Structure 1
Amino acid sequence: MAWIHKEIRIEADPRDVWSAVSDVGAAHRRLTPGILTDARLDGDNARIVTFADGTVARELIVALDNQARRFAYASVGGRAIHHNASFQVFDDGDGCTRLVWITDVLPDELASFVGQRIELGSAVIKQTLEQR
Structure 2
Amino acid sequence: MATIHRDVPIDAAPEEIWAAIRDWGEVHRRLAPGFVTDTRVEGDVRVVTFADGTVVHELIVSLDDDARRIAYALVGGSLDVVHHHASMQVFAEAGRRSRFVWITDLQPHGLAEPIAAMIDQGIRVIRRTLEATATPAS
TM-score, normalising length from structure 1?
0.97
Distance, in Å, in 1 between the alignment partners of 2:75 and 2:117 is 19
Q: Percent identity?
A: 51
Distance, in Å, in 1 between the alignment partners of 2:40 and 2:9 is 27
Distance, in Å, in 1 between the alignment partners of 2:7 and 2:88 is 10
1:100 Cα deviation (Å)? 0.4
Runs of 5+ consecutive residues of structure 1 not aligned to the other structure:
none
1:79 Cα deviation (Å)? 0.5
**Helix, strand or coil for the counterpart of 2:53?**
coil
Runs of 5+ consecutive residues of structure 2 not aligned to the other structure:
134-138
Give the length in aligned residue pairs.
131
Give a deviation string over 1:78-122, Cα, whole Å, max 9, x none: 301000000011001111110100000100000001000011011
Q: Which residue of 2 aligns with 1:97?
A: 98
Q: Which runs of 4+ in 1 moved over 3 A?
A: none
Check if 1:86 corresponds to 2:90.
no
Distance, in Å, in 1 between the alignment partners of 2:59 and 2:128 is 26
Give a deviation string over 1:43-68, Cα, whole Å, max 9, x none: 1x111111111121110000000011
Distance, in Å, in 2 between the alignment partners of 1:117 and 1:11 is 22
Give the aligned CA root-mean-square deviation in angstroms: 0.7
Residue identity in the other structure for 1:72: A
Q: Which residue of 1 aligns with 2:34?
A: 34
